[in-house]
Amino acid sequence: MNIQQKKQLLQKFWYNTISYQSLMEGLQTYEHKEIEGYISYIKVGRRSYIVVGDPICSEEDMMQLIHAFRSEILLKKWRILFISISQKVKVIFELMWFWILEIGREALFDIQNFTTLWTEKRNMRNLLRRAEKEDLCIRRIETLRESDKIWIETLNSDWLTTRKTKGFSFLLKLSPFENLDDKILFVAEKDECIVGYISAVPIYGRKWFYFEDIIRSSTAPLGTNQLLLVSAIEFLKEQWYELASLGTSPLGNIDNTTDIQHKKAQTLLRLIYKRANGFYNFKGLYHFKKSMCPSFWDPKFIAFYPPRLRPKVFLAIAKAYNPRGITGIVISRITKLVFPRNKK
């Protein structure tokens, strides 16, 4: 299946925010000859298949497509993890005896009712004023110039050097130029230099856009990211879009559960959230998205099969975000705090 065929299916069936990443290079594709649709996945670690979001197909075909994919993988004695599935398809996975676990929250903006005038957005307003005083110019890129591309590539390179995480996986890859015809791209300029940008992709199954990257240079004025976001939202408001997503904050703001096994798993995820920020900045990402004052947060889930909690499941999840930043030893030590073995 080529990329144009995938795009046509996305335009027809796409509902989940993260599913656009199924177009990224390096992912493998599962197809079924009797079903119009596909599943994008990657092999991670030992015996784990990571799937990007929901399967791309009709709701009527989804259970059959998942079953066929699962059957093929289980013959190889591998495990399957669907990362960041939506609330809409969660019920299907539950009926198929997958283990479901909340993995984070997605920050969403109500575009048509968006305003910065509310009291809780005082800090955001202050940052916007600071950025405007610095004479930042926000420009939408409709035709990419070579000079724009060089500036943005330099921004990406400089930004990556400041990250704790090295070697981002497909879930976190910066890719502002891939499938650019589908995207909107705004840049912030100061003194004729690009000091920040925001890129977004449409979610065809809804009247939505997904802000996949918001990047600024270390020398950009405070408030650059906020001004980019507000400018992009104002543009989408004029186009009568309904919602915009800032993406999922992994492990952030997870709801409590009364189920004992799920409670243990959530305790483990909270420990990773608190203690594993050396390999991925979970806390920083959540607080950054919270500072943008989203209208509401939507839960995202992982679904894995076989439905058994094992340290390797959490290691596969961690490696999906950063393939080189955490080891099985770290996961094992954290797991023992939550799942102590009974002494014989």
Average pLDDT over residues 80-101: 90
Cα 4 off chain centre by: 23
The dihedral built from the CA positions of residue 15, 251, 108 and 24, taken in this order, carries a sign that is negative
Helix (H, G, I), strand (E, B) or coil at 214: strand
- pLDDT tens-digit series, residues 148-191: 889 988 888 887 776 655 444 555 566 777 777 788 999 999 98
What's the pLDDT band for 62 if we cut at 50, 70, 90? very high
- pLDDT tens-digit series, residues 219-245: 899 999 999 999 999 999 998 889 999
Indicate the helix (H) or strand (E) that contains 178: none
Share the mean pLDDT of the chain: 80
**To the nearest whole percent, how much of the chain has pLDDT over 70?**
77
- Residue 65: how many CB atoms within 10 A of its CB? 22
- pLDDT tens-digit series, residues 115-135: 877 666 788 888 888 888 888
pLDDT value at position 174?
62
Sorted by sequence, the CB contacts under 8 Å of residue 296 that are 6+ apart come out as 108, 110
Helix (H, G, I), strand (E, B) or coil at 121: helix
Cα Rg of the chain (Å, integer): 21
Average pLDDT over residues 77-97: 89
Residue 89 predicted with pLDDT over 50:
yes
* Alpha-carbon distances, residue 96 vs 52, 90, 92, 108, 284 (angstroms): 18, 10, 6, 29, 35
Are the C-beta atoms of 23 and 178 separated by less than 8 Å? Answer: yes
Which residues pair with residue 214 across a beta bridge? 198
